[in-house]
Each structure stands twice: as structure tokens, then as C-alpha cells.
Structure 1
Amino acid sequence: MQKAEKGQGPELSGVGLHIGIVQARFNADITDALADACKEALLDLGVQEENITLVQVPGALEVPMGLIALAERDEFDALVALGCIIRGETYHFELVANESGAGVTRVGLDYGIPIANAILTTEDLSQAIARQTEKGRDAAYVAVEMAQLLTDLAPSE
């Protein structure tokens, strides 16, 4: 659902935020484009380049473990999951899509850290190409918005 109505969010500022990105290398042309768009949007939002950490893992199933490694460092305000799963002729697509998605969600809930999930699940390569830039940028915006939200909702000391 490209160009979906996403509603009006708050004014976003990434100034002072530390963002970690875990990128799957499988389907690297797509995931590289996702990462480039995400990093560009984070910079546009005011996140300093030195406050953006990018790690790569082999594929989408390994993304949650990469997220755990970053979450355990306790230095990030939000994380981003990037990957691309393209449907094939076997059940493997469903397995990878479902398990990677569930893993990303679990890491966020277990560690109390927002994670923008931009692991694409598409029917074919053309759908992935059509989404790579928009979804990479969307992930940056989600990460910054959720980091701001959790800061705003944190109990005052």
C-alpha cells in the first residue's frame, strides 16, 4: 500500500538521539537502498552521523539477534530493522517473514526500546524496488517519533 495516508504526526527532531540500525545483507541491493534512505532521513531529522550505528547480519532471521546485541549496549534511543524477503515457491517465505517479524517485536518489548521494522515482505523484486526508498525513510521517521514519545512518557524523577 504505497503512499498510504499515514496521518499527521508530531514535529520530529532527532537532535541528541542515538539510533542503531541492523541491516540484513540478503537481497543486498534492496537492503543497501533501505539503509541509505534511512540514514539520509535520520540526518535530515537532525541525528548526528556519529550517533548512527549500522551493523549488518546475513539475513532477516538474524536481524533480531543483531537488535539484541545493540539493545544490550543500552546506548540507543531507538533501533531500526532493515531487510528484504521476496516470496519464492516454497513455504520458506512465510517462515522467514513470520519469525523475523515476531523476533523484532519481541526484542522491542523485552528491552523496552522502540524498533522501526522495515523488513520488506514482497511478492517479487519489482515490489521491493518500488518500496525501498520510502520504507527506509519511513523507518527513520518511526524511530525518531517513537524515541520522542517514550522520552515524553517517561516518569519524571
Structure 2
Amino acid sequence: MNTIQPDHDGTNLRIGIVQARFSNEIGSAMLKVCTDKLAALGVHTDDITVATVPGALEVPLVLQNMAATQQYDALIAIGAVIRGETYHFELVANESGAGVTRVGLDYNIPIANAILTTENDEQAHARIEEKAADAAIVAVECANLVNLLLEEQLDDEA
């Protein structure tokens, strides 16, 4: 049995981040935690690109455009969708999540989805640290895994 071990070395990885500005206090705090964690994993600050968009529904479009450049090893989606009194919460949560997933599959690029979907501000604030740090770890680990698998595929074809 061949087991591939997780690799959390972010050295030489390029990471793109898209942050939704709606609920900006939460998104900005998440961005800080995420970029700090990426740096702790060895990702150089010059290898991190951050784009902001108005809200979670706009995140997939910018992720798609970043993925299309083929300049990134992984992408991260950051933001918060907090339940209100209307059905809009479900629409935004479902469509942004589906869009993020679709971009990753269409472009074969790992995307860590750290768009929080919570009932209230308190729940969102309670999840900032863990979710943002986890997104950095997921991006680095999955980038390294996909890069390794692509290298193995090229070696097999040679």
C-alpha cells in the first residue's frame, strides 16, 4: 500500500485569496488569520494575491478568473453569510458554495472554502480563528497533494 502523507510546507506555493467584503469586519479578521497562517506554513507574502469582492455571490467569478490564469497552486474563499429574516441567506449560502466547488473541479485547482454560514454575528466571530487557519492549511496541503499527483502522472506518461 502506498500512502501519501500530508505536506504542509508552503514554500514556493502561490496562493490566491478572494475575500467577500459584506460582513467586512469578519472577513478582514479572517484574512489576517489566514495570511498569518500561510506565512507560518512557509508561503512567502509575495506569493499571496488577495482580491476583494462585494459579497459571497461574487467570490466564485473572481476565483474562476484567478484559476484561469494558471498562476496559483491553490485558492481560498473568505467571507461570511449571516442568516437574516429572509430567504436570501439560503440563496447566497447555497449558490456561493456551489460556485466555489464548481470552479475547483472545472479548473482542477484546490479551493479552501472559508465562507462562513452562520445564524448570527456571535457564531461568525467564534469561528474566525479556526476556519481561517484551517483554510490556509487545506490550501497548502491540497496544493502539494495535487502537484504531487500531477508530477506522478507526468512521470507515468514519460
Instruction: State whether TM-score is above 0.5.
Output: yes
Inter-partner Cα distance in structure 2 for 1:87 and 1:28? 15
Select the residue among 44, 48, 65 that pairs with 1:48: 44
Select the residue among 78, 96, 101 that pairs with 1:82: 78
**Which residue matches 1:6?**
none
1:132 aligns with 2:128: yes
1:115 aligns with 2:111: yes
Query: Which amino acid letter does the alignment assign opposite residue 76 of structure 2?
Result: V
Inter-partner Cα distance in structure 2 for 1:16 and 1:93? 38
Segments of structure 1 that go 5 or more residues without pairing to the other structure are 1-8
Segments of structure 2 that go 5 or more residues without pairing to the other structure are none
Identity %, equivalent residues:
59
**Which residue matches 1:3?**
none
Select the residue among 133, 139, 144 that pairs with 1:143: 139
Select the residue among 65, 78, 88 that pairs with 2:61: 65
Aligned length: 149
- Deviation readout 1:97-125 (Å, 9 max, x if unpaired): 00000000000000110000000000000
Q: Which has the larger radius of gyration?
A: 2
Inter-partner Cα distance in structure 2 for 1:64 and 1:151? 22
- Deviation readout 1:33-54 (Å, 9 max, x if unpaired): 1100110000000000000000
Structure number with the higher helix fraction is 2
Inter-partner Cα distance in structure 2 for 1:142 and 1:70? 18
